[in-house]
Amino acid sequence: MNRPRNTHGFKQSEVLGENLYLRFRLRSALLGAAFALAFLALIARAFWVQCINDGFYQLQGDIRQIRDFTVHAARGRILDRNGHILAMSLPTRALWVDARDVPSVARNKLASVAALLGIDSGRVEDVYREHRTFAYLRRQVPLATANAAMRLDIPGLYAERDYRRFYPEGQIAAQVTGFAGVDGNGQEGIERVDNRFLTGIDGNRRVLRNARGQIIDTLNFVGPKPGRNIRLSIDRSIQFAAFQAVRNAVRRSGAKAGSAVVLDAHTGEILAMANWPTYDPNRNAARSGRQIRNRAVTDVFEPGSVLKPLTIALALQRGVVTPDSIVTTDGGRLRLDHAVIHDDADFGVLTVSQVIQKSSNVGTTKIALQLKPRDMWRNFRAVGLGRAPSAGLPGAAAGNLRPYQHWRRIDQATMSYGYGLSASLLQLAQVYTIFANDGVFVPATIHERGAARVHGRRIYSARVAREVLAMLESVVSKDGTAPQAQVAGYTVAGKTGTAYRWTAKGYDHSQYRASFVGIVPASAPRVIIAVSIDRPSKGSHFGGAVSGPAFAKIAARTMHILNVSPNELTANELYSQAPAT
């Protein structure tokens, strides 16, 4: 017997299938919509990148592919008056890294480049590990070393044009030239004071790089413009002679330091300026300490008797005395305002000319006290004391010259023979231009004047200047204080100065400053030479004995270099020319 069919179960199955189908359709629609929306978003993004904001992304791409490099300009040369090089720039390379897009680099390669450059390998590894965009590894790398480093083919390592400053004369002219730093800026000497002229204008190189950071093309190049050459008044040969003489004088006398200045007597051009101790500007490690300063310009001291001729010249100019006026020295001791002024010996009765020849403090004081303090102060100021020389050298000191309103009689007396005021050696050399130029003061300069007109200033009459010059000649005679400054074949006029050194506790009578300033030839002045030795400790401490021989050596060599004919016959020459009897 047939059983009836279950229609109710069939209907339930059919309904369940329809639900599943609807759900599938819904999910498919949602998934399709999601894909459609994503596709539309991609289209919109592409449209934004390609059409609306394409400039920004193009720029970002260019930044990663285009790089600008600075092309360093060569610094100008420093030349002596004859065109010899005192400072120049040698071509080198600066090695640097852009590790932004560089993958890892083998450590052995990084160690190799570090060894070549003489730097720590850890430093190089840090640059690459941190993916720095710019880091100098080393500047002023010799060309051969730089080429060897680049042959290692390290990604992101670049070499650009660089320069290293070189000083052919080394320590001989170090304080004059000074030196420039690794960045090319002058730090001392002429390098510093004329930095704006010596510095060139850097150029630019725009390049295209590949994915490894290697340069594949140059897009643009603007060449650098080198700095201007500077020609100094220095004569390289005279500079060497001055350097040797000062160095030997310091060593011979056991002194702490010494300086020498050689001026052209008529133009004021500095032909030489030497100091000892010194340093080698080519060695970076030596560019510090006291030895780098130009003592002839920066250091001031009480000059002592070197200034006596100024007092005598003023007295002659005012008509207070004549060269033959008589001055008593009171046994070499003069009491003044509870102080005692003394000479090195009892000179008895002297003429004004002999006051200079014997370097009498008492005689100079008696003459000075006949002058007005204001006139003496103006006299000092007129020849550049108490004001920094405008010679074109950095760090020039003004020295000390107190206002005359505060002078006591003892101040006036001591200043008349070079105590109670201070000056640099360059200032003292300038002073003596008045005696070499018939009473006209000529300011010093470190730059060659060329055809430029010299602007001097008359201080004394020609007659007074010549009278003092004759007195200064007697100083170098056998009866004067500086026979050691004689120069065979040439007349010499000059003055010694021996002064106690001032300390925090007053004058130290065991420490001296020994100086000599002279003019050669005296009969037709050509140069002025000033030499000063600080704290001699061996043998004599007097200016004539310590600085006189150095002056004579510089003078003899300078006369030969400048081709100045002898103007004085030696005793042997006089004898050979005497008529036969």
Task: Give buried/exposed letters for 41-77 (b at 16+ CB in 10 A, else e).
Answer: eeeeeeeeeeeeeeeeeeeeeeeeeebebeebbbbbb
Active site residue 532: no
Query: CA angle at residue 558 from 552 to 562, to 5 degrees?
Result: 150
Nearest to 496 by CA among 538, 457, 545, 459: 545
Quote the distance between the C-alpha of residue 16 and its chain's center: 101
Tokens 């060569």 correspond to: 74
Check if the beta carbon of residue 549 is closer than 8 Å to that of residue 529. no
Q: How far apart are CA 266 and CA 542, in angstroms?
A: 29
For 406, other C-beta atoms within 10 Å of its C-beta total 8
The secondary structure of 18-62, three-state, reads HHHHHHHHHHHHHHHHHHHHHHHHHHHHHHHHHHHCHHHHHHHHH
Nearest in space to 152 (alpha carbons), one of 109, 121, 122, 114: 109
Question: In a 10 Å sphere around its CB, with 0-12 CB exposed, 13-18 middle and 19+ buried, how is residue 228 labelled?
Answer: middle
Of the candidates 379, 432, 416, the one whose C-alpha atom is nearest the C-alpha of residue 261 is 432
DSSP output for 322-335:
-TT-EEE-GGGEEE
Give Cβ neighbours of residue 422 (< 8 Å, ≥ 6 apart).
300, 301, 302, 303, 399, 400
Q: Give the H/E segment covering residue 214.
A: none
Spatial contact of 213 and 155, defined as CB atoms under 8 Å apart: yes
Cα within 13 Å of Cα(504), Cβ side: 0
**Amino acid type, 513:** R
Q: Are 500 and 512 in contact (CB under 8 A)?
A: yes
Instruction: Name the active-site residue from 237, 259, 305, 422.
Output: 305
- Let me know how long the chain is: 581
Residue spans of alpha helices (H) in 404-547: 409-416, 425-431, 433-436, 462-475, 543-546
Non-local CB neighbours of 146 within 8 Å, separated by 6+ positions:
92, 93, 95, 159
Q: For residue 447, what is the DSSP state? A: B
d(CA 413, CA 407): 10
Q: In terms of DSSP H, where are the helices of 106-235? A: 107-117, 121-129, 143-150, 174-177, 189-193, 195-198
Q: Which are the catalytic amino acids?
A: 305
